[in-house]
Structure 1
Amino acid sequence: MAAFAVVPAHAETMLSAMAYAYSANPTLNAARAEARAVDEQVAQALSNWRPSVTGEATYGQRYSDSSGSTGGFGGGGSSTTTPGTVGVTINQPLYRGNRTVNSTKQAEAAVRAAHQSLYNTEQNILLQAAQAYADVVRDSAIVELRRNNLSVLGEQLNASQDRFDVGEVTRTDVAQSRARVSSAESALNAAQAQLLTSRATYIQIIGREPQNLKAPQPFTRQIPPSLEQAIAQSRTDHPAIKAARFSEESAAFAIMVAEGALLPSLSLQGSMQYNTEPSANVNNSFNAQILGVLSVPIYQNGSEYSNVRQAKQTRSQRMLQVDVARAQVQAAVLSAWGGLQSANASILSAQAQIDAAGIALDGVREEARVGQRTTLDVLDAQQELLDARVSRVIAERDQVVASVSLYAAIGRLLATRIGLQVREYQPEVNARQVRDKWFGLRTSDGQ
């Protein structure tokens, strides 16, 4: 996997984090291995065109003892021989009820389904990486906001205490300031705990510690202009739907394979055998033969009929799973589209709230200096400003995640589509390498 390594820059971006996850995430690498295993099904199906060669050798000792006949004619006796046999048998299938052709098509469809499932896993991992990145950025910003708020409240508590000492405010004002400091400390501790959780998830998904993260930007370049276009594109591009279609195609060929067991089969069989001391009176012998073998199934306990019925039910299931995949993808598009619209509106609302709360806080502080406002009024205004800033941070995170989720929902969250600086993993390469292999135990990754 060193070929996929991405050298981290001084500042980590969301795309560089996703690129690292593309190479290092164990779930994605396991899915690639699973797809490579499915690739072997085509080689296994094609092997039914090829001959099978079997060698056989025997060697041992035979002892024979016989008595004369009842009438006294013919003699008896004993003999010891060391018989040995060396033989080769070659069997070449000629016709297997179309099972070889149909099993090859079944395997090819299964491979295409596995590759699309791999792309779907790639989308899910990249989406998780983007979410983990945005969560760490969000929680780091919230921790900083709450830390600054605690610092401001601490200064305000000291000021209230000083004013109380000179008789400008009451003990109640000091108690209110102290209560807000305690509440801010609790909120900061909760924010720090959430940040630790987000950092742990980041390490799990991406594979390294988050360091010097830059604020991410939403994906907007290739988002369809309307919801209807997004749904239409998802139905043609989403790998989950493609995988379901190929799985249904594979199940259709599986029916033909099962039906092939009811048809005759024809093969050509050749054998050669050399025997030493096959009997007491023969020193050696040599036999060779070529046979055409026609096998016609008449009745084989009914299991073939059951296999055909089972294959038909499996295809019915796969056809329904195509509809399920379409419905799930459409629901994902609707959810991501609505989330993105909501996040955009929330950012505008939060910014307006920040502007208004900032003006209000400045005014309340000025009025408090001349005795027209209480300490509680100042604390409330400051809390409103803090809440607005936190809301904006959360909305910005939701905007980024919703845009990435929309990319995934329409089938575009792939390394090649979003421009990740990585060496692309192409599952078709391994499929081509193993398709026509007649010999060899080593895999494409060197095992």
Structure 2
Amino acid sequence: MLDNWWRDGLLPATGGSLPFGGFLRCKFCTMALGAIVFLPILPVSASNIEKAVQAAVANHPEISRDQANASAATQAIDEASSTYLPRLDIEGAGGFELTDSPSTRATDENTRDLVRSEGSFTLTQRLFDGFDTSSRVASARARKGAAESFVGETIHRISLLAVTLYLDVLRNRTFLKAAEWNTAIHAELAGQVRELKRSGRGVGTDVDQADTRLALAESERERFRGELRAVKARYFEVVGEGAIDLTRPDLPDFDRPATADDAVAAAEASHPRIQTALNVQHALQADVNTQRAAYFPQVNLEAIGSTAGNRDGVPGQDSDFNGRVRGTYNIFNGLGDLARVRGSRNRAQAATADVLEAKRITRENVRVAYEQLITAERRLKPLRAQIGAAKRVVYGYRNQFKIGQRTLLDLLDAQNELFQARLSKVDGEFRVLLGIYELMAAIGKLPNHFNIEEKPVAQQSGR
């Protein structure tokens, strides 16, 4: 059985693992982890990971929160636009009135008791407000755009997190299976070494060495099992579904930019981080004009009507109506308007800096993702070559161990080198796979790849 495992390979090419590079800490997990690499690869499907990402976007509360904020921003446009329409106020009152005045005292009664009633209306249409309304509408529209772009940012982040956890579950599952095989092989090897000692062909130190490696293999198996449970828990919290029947996806069908500069240009044209910063900048620039409205007069068209009965001790009904154009202009208010304008300009300048920073971060992320992907792809060929060389060493050491030319420790160390080579190869393959998704996210194309709509489902504006 050991001969077959050592001869036929180590890890399945479909594996899951620890977080990237983390499993390389397993320095002495030897022997039969090798027995799994060339097992048949499970059927692959891109739809599984697509469904997982779609479920994460549909279920994650951060996205629901940001969509609600985008809906609220839509209503803010209606609120700002309301000043374009006329305003109508009505007032009415009625009750007992006792009047004691020179006119009533001139009569025999001295005072007069009457039931008084009155009503009025005021219809106001703003004609000019120093561009306050138009500026507030522009600001509200820009804030709505920023809220929608922020939804896109959150969708990108959750999508990439779901992809990362999906692949992490696959790696950890495979490495747990590998650790279980590894423990079984160490147990069988320890038994065979004990049998050799009992027959007089072995030594006690070989038994101790085999038992030491068996204990370490069991410890590593439990570590892999715990890490799988942890990543499954994270997967469930992010995706909203259990990590069941996950299949390894094919390499994504991605129209990759030819150069890093092309990738940067694509990101600057569409990444939601930049769009959010630009919309916030536009909103704050509009706020400057909103504050500057205080420098202008305000002109309204007013229609005012009133009617009253038994007012001021005079029996009977009287009514009046007037229409007018009314203008008001504040001359001085303690320099408060000037301070508000200056403050809004400073905030607009800060928003301009935020746009530059958003572009810088986006460029950095794109270039890093692009170079990391190229590095991961270039590493695959030497990693695969390393496996072939390490496998030949293990096979030769195995034969030499049988005839006493190699010690058990030599064989275990050689097997460990092959095991590490297999882990590096699997790690390299997953780095390429995740690297493509990370480049998509850096450019701003990841949700589109999974057929996810980035714009929020918001309430329709009334205007």
1:25·1:207 contact (CA, 8 Å) conserved in 2?
yes
Larger mean CA deviation between 105-114 and 186-195 belongs to 105-114
Q: SS in structure 1 opposite 2:55? A: helix
Once residues 152 and 338 of structure 1 are traced to their aligned partners in structure 2, the CA distance between those partners, rounded to angstroms, is: 40
CA drift at 1:68: 10
Once residues 142 and 347 of structure 1 are traced to their aligned partners in structure 2, the CA distance between those partners, rounded to angstroms, is: 19
1:18·1:206 contact (CA, 8 Å) conserved in 2?
yes
TM-score, scaled relative to structure 1:
0.88
Letter in 1 for 2:283: S
- The 1:95–1:198 alpha-carbon spacing in structure 2 relative to 1, beyond 3 Å, is same
CA drift at 1:140: 1.1
Equivalent residue runs for 1:25-424 within 5 Å: 25-65=60-100, 77-219=110-252, 221-414=254-447, 417-420=448-451, 424=453
1:58·1:85 contact (CA, 8 Å) conserved in 2?
yes
Q: What is the RMSD computed on CA atoms of the aligned residues?
A: 2.3
CA drift at 1:10: 10
**Structure 2 unaligned spans of 5+:** 1-43
CA drift at 1:220: 5.2
Once residues 237 and 151 of structure 2 are traced to their aligned partners in structure 1, the CA distance between those partners, rounded to angstroms, is: 20
Once residues 400 and 85 of structure 1 are traced to their aligned partners in structure 2, the CA distance between those partners, rounded to angstroms, is: 78
Count of residues paired in the alignment: 420
CA drift at 1:132: 1.0
Q: Is residue 15 of structure 2 the alignment partner of residue 15 of structure 1?
A: no
Once residues 383 and 12 of structure 1 are traced to their aligned partners in structure 2, the CA distance between those partners, rounded to angstroms, is: 36
Q: SS in structure 2 opposite 1:213? A: coil
Aligned to 2:18: none
CA drift at 1:435: 4.4
Once residues 295 and 68 of structure 1 are traced to their aligned partners in structure 2, the CA distance between those partners, rounded to angstroms, is: 38
Once residues 246 and 433 of structure 2 are traced to their aligned partners in structure 1, the CA distance between those partners, rounded to angstroms, is: 14
Query: Alignment partner for residue 461 of structure 2, among 429, 434, 445?
Result: 434
Q: SS in structure 2 opposite 1:59? A: strand
CA drift at 1:246: 2.1
TM-score, scaled relative to structure 2:
0.85
Larger mean CA deviation between 355-364 and 157-166 belongs to 355-364
Q: SS in structure 2 opposite 1:326? A: helix
1:141·1:393 contact (CA, 8 Å) conserved in 2?
no
CA drift at 1:284: 2.3
2:380·2:425 contact (CA, 8 Å) conserved in 1?
yes
2:70·2:147 contact (CA, 8 Å) conserved in 1?
yes
Once residues 46 and 138 of structure 2 are traced to their aligned partners in structure 1, the CA distance between those partners, rounded to angstroms, is: 49
Letter in 2 for 1:42: I
CA drift at 1:167: 1.2
Once residues 202 and 387 of structure 1 are traced to their aligned partners in structure 2, the CA distance between those partners, rounded to angstroms, is: 27
CA drift at 1:347: 3.2
- The 1:88–1:399 alpha-carbon spacing in structure 2 relative to 1, beyond 3 Å, is same
Letter in 1 for 2:75: E
Once residues 279 and 159 of structure 1 are traced to their aligned partners in structure 2, the CA distance between those partners, rounded to angstroms, is: 118
CA drift at 1:300: 2.0
The one-character-per-residue Cα deviations of 1:176-225 (angstroms, maximum 9, x if unpaired) are 01000111111111111111111111111111101011113343522112
Once residues 11 and 398 of structure 1 are traced to their aligned partners in structure 2, the CA distance between those partners, rounded to angstroms, is: 17
Aligned to 2:32: none
Letter in 1 for 2:171: R
Q: Percent identity, aligned pairs only?
A: 24
- The 1:360–1:150 alpha-carbon spacing in structure 2 relative to 1, beyond 3 Å, is same
2:169·2:228 contact (CA, 8 Å) conserved in 1?
yes
The one-character-per-residue Cα deviations of 1:140-162 (angstroms, maximum 9, x if unpaired) are 11111111111111111111111
**Structure 1 unaligned spans of 5+:** 1-8, 437-447
